[in-house]
Amino acid sequence: MVHRRTQVAIIGAGPAGLLLGALLARHGIDAVIVEQRSAEYVLSRIRAGVLEQTTVDLLREAGVADRCLKEGLTHEGIELSFDGALHRIDFRALTDKHVTVYGQTEVTHDLMQSRASSNLMTDYEAESVEVSGFDCERPAVRYLKGGVSHELACDFIAGCDGYHGICRASVPTDAISTYEKVYPFGWLGVLADVPPVRHELIYANHDRGFALCSQRSRTRSRYYVQCSLDDQADQWSDEAFWDELRRRLPAEIAEAVTTGPSIEKSIAPLRSFVAEPMRFGRLFLAGDAAHIVPPTGAKGLNLAATDVGYLARGLAEHYLERSSSGLDHYSTRCLSRVWKAERFSWWFTSLMHRFPDAGAFGSRLQQAELAYLVGSRSASSALAENYVGLPL
Ligand code: FAD
Ligand code: PHB
């Protein structure tokens, strides 16, 4: 058995866990990350692409924003496509803010590099991870690695282990409430080394279903189409994907799409989920471990970042100022943001997708709401404000 001790044990080396580790290191707080997968596997998951200014600010605070600031693309608006035409929502004019297009893979890569170069410890490929003692003064994490048992004693546990992780599952069921909505469709995503069709993202409402034209750089595109939950990614040929995407876009945009071989193709189910509270004694849940939003609002990674922003501040207050105030307010502060993001993501998802039982009345209502949205400054402002996000 290997025994170790740290101040904060972080479960999960996704963006939440890695960013928390980097922020704590800045405050001189010791943390160990325990991750069940390999670093390569974590980096191979293609997910988010849009960072709010608050997220970029947190990366800067953590000392890992250099590449994001240099290579990230500043986007001052998005385009909505419906009824065969494009309508721009101008973030700069409506909110004086912008978002940054920079892939989650790149954020994770930068955080991993910074952690490795500072010799901060991450234990990858940890098996049978268990958390205990968070309801008393002796929290601990136990796991197996290469057949050897490890025990990590700590002051606090940060559950950054995603929706399927063990931290939330370790909380007694009578101490936690969960709220969930599962959508009757998924997103089929393709990553390809082709230039993006437009400078900005296009969110398309179409009779055949939703489509999204996103990007990672000037030479790498990320596209999505709404698909059935019964679909399998490998049953979609590249050609079938490009054809379906183009059918859902206005003609002049469809013609401008540059196609090419996919370098990744996957299906993501869509879900809204919240667990309350987010603190259980000395265990704090953060990111997807506590909440999931459908990706339409581009909020998941951003919420993970703001959760750990609050948590790092609370822990710094605890260790450096001997105040419990930040930790005591952690759950309510996070949940207030989370429910705003849940509402926005649910609303934008409902507006842009085809729902099997909505019928013709449902799609005419969507068109009426979209027309109202682009025709009303206050409605466009509400969309823009929610999309660009709130300060911490
Ligand atoms: P995760 O990234 O899930 O990381 C959790 C980590 O914990 C994983 O590495 C996992 O292996 C590890 N783990 C799990 N169980 C254990 C265990 N028992 N022991 C140890 N480790 C464990 N968000 C946005 O903000 N903008 C977007 O544009 C956006 N687009 C998206 C597009 C798609 C298709 C999808 C699927 C998601 C998108 N998101 C977006 C959401 C975003 O990717 C997630 O919200 C984000 O990954 C959450 O980070 P996390 O660190 O909380 O969780
Ligand atoms: C992405 O680029 O993966 C992306 C962008 C915007 C979203 C969701 C995903 O709303």
Rounded to a whole number of angstroms, the distance between the first and last alpha carbons of the chain is: 41
Write out the catalytic residue numbers. Answer: 75, 203, 295, 299, 387
Distance (angstroms) between ligand 2 centre and the Cα of 50 equals 6
Instruction: Look at ligand 2, atom 2, and give the residue with the nearest C-alpha.
Output: 49
Question: Which ligand has the nearest atom to the CA of 105?
Answer: 1
Residue-level pLDDT at 354: 97
Q: Which residues line ligand 1 (CB under 6 A)?
A: 11-17, 34-37, 42, 47-50, 104, 126, 129, 160-162, 164-166, 187, 189, 268, 287-288, 295, 298-302, 304
Assigned token pair, 72: 């990230």
Determine whether the shortest distance from the Cβ of 49 to ligand 2 is under 6 A.
yes
Distance (angstroms) between ligand 2 centre and the Cα of 214 equals 6
d(CA 150, CA 210): 47
Residue-level pLDDT at 305: 98
The DSSP call for residue 391 is -
Judge contact between 338 and 291, C-beta under 8 A: yes
Contacts of 328 (CB under 8 A, 6+ apart): 314
Determine whether the shortest distance from the Cβ of 105 to ligand 2 is under 6 A.
no
The DSSP call for residue 168 is G
Residue-level pLDDT at 132: 98
pLDDT tens string for the chain (392 positions)?
999 999 999 999 999 999 999 999 999 999 999 999 999 999 999 888 999 999 999 999 999 999 999 999 999 999 999 999 999 999 999 999 999 999 999 999 999 999 999 999 999 999 999 999 999 889 999 999 999 999 999 999 999 999 999 999 999 999 999 999 999 999 999 999 999 999 999 999 999 999 999 999 999 999 999 999 999 999 999 999 999 999 999 999 999 999 999 999 999 999 999 999 999 999 999 999 999 999 999 999 999 999 999 999 999 999 999 999 999 999 999 999 999 999 999 999 999 999 999 999 999 999 999 999 999 999 999 999 999 999 99
Which atom of ligand 2 is found nearest the CA of 297?
A: 10
Q: Decide the pairing of beta strands 291-292 and 262-276.
A: antiparallel
Contacts of 37 (CB under 8 A, 6+ apart): 13, 124, 125
Cut 0.95: pTM above it: yes
Instruction: Look at ligand 2, atom 1, and give the residue with the nearest C-alpha.
Output: 49
Which atom of ligand 1 is found nearest the CA of 289?
A: 52
d(CA 182, CA 192): 29
Assigned token pair, 202: 């296009």
Residue-level pLDDT at 185: 98
Judge contact between 134 and 281, C-beta under 8 A: yes
d(CA 229, CA 238): 19
